[in-house]
Amino acid sequence: MKEILKLQYSYLFNKVSAWFLFLMISIATVGIVYASGFTSLYGELDIDRTTRLINYQMESYLLVKFILVVISIFLSIQGYYSQFTKYHLFFLQKEKGKVLLGIAKQTAIMVVLSMMFIHSVIVIHLSGFYLTPYFQFEIDFFIALISLYIEAMILGLIGSISIQIIDSIFSGLIPLVLFWVTEANATYEEINQSSWLKTLYAIVSNAIIYQNKFVLLYDIIHYGLVFLFLWFLNLLIFIWKDIK
């Protein structure tokens, strides 16, 4: 299993992928620091702390979400598009090789995303605490950040499932469209007035701002279960699907 994981990491971190991930994490870091408003005078930042805190949380949240979703979909394409995975045939010669490969593949993607997520959360809090007078730890925002990570994983899994079924690199557009729809309809009133939006939000853990607070339509455990369901579904499809 260790050897398979090493193979996955070396594959995910090829030269192109490494530069892409470095670019994404650099954009996230610079964007978060800039969103803190550190270039303004300290006295200016001390005025209307509540509004500045909400703006900083929103800007950093949306930036990190977009980057994590893009990375998740990128890794899904890298990991499951048939034209990029010819080495899979080697594992058919081993007992349980395909099962171990499927688990290792999803584990590797989760680890890479987790590293990006943890880095972003640390930067958000360090920038807030050390560069601004208004930042404070809020459990609602922290839960929203966790839901952001789960959302990126869910959309990545939807992308992985789509790619395996359709076998087209353009399958990555499906989770991007879902991401765009949730962002374009991210108000409490719109969601409550639409049954299909409620259904979509039952799958995608997109936190929304309601009365100046980050809220989820369902609790974090619900979205954790959605993630687990898609994780096992993706694995089963990978195991049952013929390798090309």
CA separation (Å) from 66 to 33, 62, 163, 206? 16, 6, 20, 12
Residues 6 or more apart in contact with residue 146 via CB below 8 angstroms: 220
Q: What is the pLDDT of residue 89?
A: 54
Of the candidates 28, 30, 38, 111, the residue with the CA atom closest to the CA atom of residue 62: 28
- In the block, residue with structure tokens 């990375």: 71
Q: What angle do CA 58, 63, 68 make, to 5 degrees?
A: 125
- pLDDT tens-place values along the chain, 244 residues long: 566 556 666 666 677 778 888 999 999 999 999 988 877 766 666 677 778 888 899 999 999 999 999 999 988 888 777 655 555 555 555 556 677 778 888 888 898 899 999 999 999 999 989 888 888 888 989 999 999 999 999 999 999 999 888 878 788 889 999 988 888 876 777 787 888 888 888 999 888 887 778 888 888 999 999 999 999 999 999 888 765 5
**CB–CB of 53/136 below 8 Å?**
yes
Count of H-run helices and E-run strands, the chain: 10, 2
User: What pLDDT score was predicted for residue 1?
Assistant: 56
| pLDDT score recorded for residue 193 | 81
> Helix (H, G, I), strand (E, B), or coil: what is residue 85?
coil
Q: What is the pLDDT of residue 183?
A: 82
Q: 220-240 burial, b if ≥16 CB within 10 A, otherwise e?
A: eeebeebbeebbeebbebbee
- pLDDT, position 226: 95
